[in-house]
Amino acid sequence: MSRSEDLFERAQLFIPGGVNSPVRAFKSVGGTPVFFQSAKGSIMTDVDGIDYIDYIGSWGPMILGHCHPPVVNALKKSINNTTSFGAPTEIETDVAQLICEMVPAVEKVRMVNSGTEACMSAIRLARGYTDREKFIKLEGCYHGHADQFLIKAGSGAATFGEPDSSGVTRGTAKDTLIAPYNDLLAVKQLIEANPNEIAAIILEPVAGNMGCIPPVKGFLEGLRVLCDTHRIVLIFDEVMCGFRIAKGGATELYGVMPDLVAMGKIIGGGMPVGAFGGKREIMAMLAPEGPVYQAGTLSGNPIAMNCGLTLLKELNATPNIYIELEKKGAYLEKGIREVFDNHELTYALNRVGSMLSFHMGVTQVTNFNDACSADSEFFKKIFHGVLKRGIYFAPSAFETLFVSITHSYSLLDRTIHAIDESLKELRVF
């Protein structure tokens, strides 16, 4: 028995499902989750001392690789002052100012401790600003585990949402309206069916939680027009794609300005950090300035801020990082396409910069339904085929692969080769 199997058995005695976040449990791919003990750059080492090329990167934060030396040094230095004051510090303003400089839509920003907190606070703020209760979510986008996001559409896009998790009340679900991703007409119909009742539209401008799905041409622009026409707050959830697809995120890449942006992951570099920010007049509604309450004991934690400031400063000062990420993402995409084509497979591969995913058995994935119709059984076989060859993909067909700046071309070649070898092995049986 491997140490991971041992540790998983023990973990299940004390932690629900043996994990502190469901996706880690390998439920959708089967098998025992790998337990890790260390990581450096793009390599993670499991508890049996086996190395893996890591494409999760802690679900996005490790854009400059694990244990990036400047980040480690910043943490070592800051830990000697305290782990938390629970009082204002200069570094919080340094981080806030840098985010405002980097992200075009952000004029003011509030730090929180997770992407969930960032998204749920942004919705509350939009409701307070517009004095409206409903909001539109795009099917397949994930905004964290706050009740109002754990909703799926009833039959047809015009009905109210239904709870997608037990424990979420119908009272909560009725205010969450759902439309298919990339379907501007469905969003327009929801707005017309709920005149003057919708506070916000929230979406991942580049979806990463149903595999990677970019916005189709005109989709983001169309949402902007609808929000301007109907005084609806447009919220970009950039917890995953922020600071990754471009220094200024989706606004820089697609030229569409949201009213609020939810952020997370990269700004903490692996430490628990989230943030939400946007137009000054909307952010002015937030306590203690305005009537919308939001708080957090560890928000703006100085250790996490040191990590985030060090990372963001480097991203801000080194535009070549994004050129490099694009090149490496394109290299990996090309290699995977060549392997799939050589094996005469049907697949859809989506990529935006260093975020990419592939779905088997389908030719295009532009929304959640497309993603659901893919062959997830085939994905599972590829996942385990590469895992045993030392490549660690996200343990779900509904996630995204992240390339970091530390993925060398030889590691990318090893990844492409592992996929090819896995497919050859599958053909034999």
- Contacts with ligand KE4 by CB under 6 A lie at 21, 23, 59, 114-116, 119, 142-144, 204, 208-209, 237, 239-240, 264, 274, 399
Total residues belonging to the chain:
429
Min dist. Cβ of residue 61 to ligand KE4 (A): 10
Angle at the Cα of 219 (from 217 to 221), degrees rounded to 5? 95
| Sequence-separated (6 or more) residues with CB below 8 Å from residue 135 | 123, 126, 127, 148, 175, 176, 177, 198, 199, 200, 201, 202
What are the CA-CA distances from residue 53 to residues 38, 39, 315, 392, 412 (Å)?
Answer: 12, 10, 23, 6, 9
Q: In this structure, how many other beta carbons lie within 10 angstroms of the beta carbon of residue 9? A: 12
Nearest Cα residue to 123 out of 154, 89, 151 = 151
| DSSP-derived secondary structure letter, 35 | P
Min dist. Cβ of residue 195 to ligand KE4 (A): 29
In the set 52, 55, 129, 142, the catalytic residue is 142
Q: Taking CB positions, which residue lies at the least distance from ligand KE4? A: 115
Min dist. Cβ of residue 114 to ligand KE4 (A): 4
Does the annotation count 237 as an active-site position?
A: yes
Given the complex with ligand KE4, which of 321 and 394 has the nearer CB atom?
A: 394
Min dist. Cβ of residue 219 to ligand KE4 (A): 17
In the set 265, 322, 328, 420, the catalytic residue is 265
Min dist. Cβ of residue 399 to ligand KE4 (A): 5
Given the complex with ligand KE4, which of 119 and 360 has the nearer CB atom?
A: 119
Nearest Cα residue to 401 out of 342, 344, 340, 332 = 332
Kind of pairing between the strands at 134-139 and 198-203: parallel
In the set 46, 237, 370, 420, the catalytic residue is 237
Given the complex with ligand KE4, which of 152 and 389 has the nearer CB atom?
A: 152
Cα(421)–Cα(304) distance, rounded to whole angstroms? 41
How far apart are the two ends of the chain, measured CA to CA in Å? 25
Given the complex with ligand KE4, which of 142 and 340 has the nearer CB atom?
A: 142
Given the complex with ligand KE4, which of 134 and 137 has the nearer CB atom?
A: 137
DSSP 48-81: TS-EEEESSGGGTT-TT-BT-HHHHHHHHHHTTT
| DSSP-derived secondary structure letter, 263 | E
- The sign of the torsion formed by the CA atoms of 10, 11, 15, 16 equals negative
Min dist. Cβ of residue 263 to ligand KE4 (A): 9
Given the complex with ligand KE4, which of 246 and 339 has the nearer CB atom?
A: 246
Cα(417)–Cα(413) distance, rounded to whole angstroms? 6
Cα(415)–Cα(406) distance, rounded to whole angstroms? 14
Given the complex with ligand KE4, which of 350 and 422 has the nearer CB atom?
A: 350
Min dist. Cβ of residue 239 to ligand KE4 (A): 3
Query: Catalytic positions, please?
Result: 142, 237, 265
